[in-house]
Structure 1
Amino acid sequence: MEIIPAVDLRGGRVVRLIQGDPSRETRYSQDPAAVAREWERRGAPRLHLVDLDGALLGSPANQQALREILRVIRIPAQVGGGLRSLEAVRAALDLGAAVAIVGTAAIRDAGFLEAACAAFPGRVALGLDARAGMLLTSGWVEVTVIRATDLARRVSDFPLAAIIYTDIQRDGMLEGPDLPGLAAMAAVTRVPLIASGGIGSERDIHALKALAPPVGGAIIGKALYDGRLTLEAALHAAAGTSC
């Protein structure tokens, strides 16, 4: 299981939000590239880069910061936030992203997701952000009537790089991941699953590893930035070794 540090961008800075609420923001750095390099230096196998402004506005808004990060790191990165057209997906990949994450546009239009997968097979991930199992869009502000498991089932045969499942109620709360929700997701799709939201301890990582079928990765943000969990400890927990 991969441990994937999150680098969330807002106004060119590295920040974290609690439960996706822009009014509950903590700023960590004005140098996103330095943050990304540090995670790479400490052993991260991959980074999760999110343009929060792009997610809220509907189009990419932190291109300069993303460009600089992707220029200086050597590990792969998955990039999301405001990618709502094939042109935006292509631009993210051309910028250097290994994988482009789509969410809102794919939830609203299944044809868009199918077209993106056909154009970039294996390089598109589907981001599913849910509260009580129901999907939200547009930077977590619009509630839909679509269940995350229903959409995951429908795209099971798409050539996706991954499905990234975030429980919004747990995001930034450090209270553990949504294990029942993740198990339900894993049971209905053959697409590799990445867990996000609430992961705050080695115990949480062990719990994710114990799921059957297992998840392929865990995105961790606040726990790493606040020092509650070190990247080294998280990597060892995922590998089943001791520090």
Structure 2
Amino acid sequence: MADGFEIIPVIDLRHGQVVRARAGERASYAPIVTPLAKESSPGAVARGLMAAVRATRLYVADLDAIIDGTPPDRASLEAIRCACPDARLWVDAGFSHAAGVDAFLAAGLGRPVIGSESQTDAGLVRALGGRAVFSLDTRGSERLGPDALHDEPAHWPRDVIVMTLGRVGAGAGPDLDRLAALRASSPATRLYAAGGVRGPADVAALAGIGVAGALVASAIHDGSLGA
């Protein structure tokens, strides 16, 4: 593994279970079957993922909150926290208003991830600054969310996830050209690739263009990446 490069395991939650993400088609995600856990419960899968790559950070996408606008799944997040008490959680729960973020921060369940797809303007991202992680979301050639969030790095906090939904679980490799362009446009930003990482060669390629880490699920479950 490239020195200093961080692998961040990913959990996608739907109806209280961990599901297998493929190509960003969220409605078709099914409960996960993985050699890392005997069941698809959040705590069991989180424990298996964290041990597999000796990670210190875990990304959780609460798909019920993102798709349906429900409150964050506190029961699942608390189960993950109980199973992995030392893990630092990054949580995307479709946050779009300051009040929801403030309530989440007060609950102490992790660091909020603000997805561009859930925003109507750049206000929340700018107001939160480093208290949150920003996710710059695309699906294929479509940029999700306000153009200002894609075009103006001045709006971004230090930590930015580059989420390429069409490549999630698809084995297509990361979008190196896009990541390199974003890296050039904002050298001080810590970029985290999400979508397409298949194994050590992709990790080396990402590290080579200055990406700080990658969000990974399928390659860990399949054994292509491990400690």
TM range (shorter): 0.7 to 0.9
Determine which structure has the larger strand proportion and give its number.
1
Q: Could you list the per-position Cα deviations for residues 176-208 of structure 1 after superposition, in whole angstroms to 9, with x for gaps in the alignment?
A: 100000011111122211100011111111111
Cα 1:82/1:148, change in 2 over 3 Å: closer
Q: Which residue of 2 aligns with 1:22?
A: 26
Q: Which amino acid aligns with 1:163?
A: V
Cα 1:193/1:116, change in 2 over 3 Å: same
Q: Which residue of 1 aligns with 2:151?
A: 150
Q: Tell me by how many angstroms 1:111 deviates.
A: 1.8
| 2:116–2:137 Cα contact (<8 Å) kept | no
| 1:15–1:26 Cα contact (<8 Å) kept | yes
1:196 aligns with 2:206: no
Distance 1:148 1:180 in 2: 19
1:181 to 178, 182, 190: 178
Q: Which residue of 1 aligns with 2:134?
A: 126
Q: Which residue of 1 aligns with 2:35?
A: none
| 2:171–2:198 Cα contact (<8 Å) kept | yes
What SS does structure 1 have at the residue aligned with 2:26? strand
TM-score scaled to structure 1, two decimals? 0.79
What SS does structure 2 have at the residue aligned with 1:231? coil
1:221 aligns with 2:225: no
Distance 2:149 2:128 in 1: 19
TM-score scaled to structure 2, two decimals? 0.84
Q: Which runs of 5+ in 1 are unaligned?
A: 138-143, 233-243
Aligned residue pairs, count: 214
> Percent identical across equivalent pairs?
31
Distance 2:115 2:191 in 1: 15
| 2:9–2:59 Cα contact (<8 Å) kept | yes
Distance 1:193 1:2 in 2: 11
Q: Which runs of 5+ in 2 are unaligned?
A: 33-38
Q: Tell me by how many angstroms 1:130 deviates.
A: 0.9
| 1:9–1:15 Cα contact (<8 Å) kept | yes
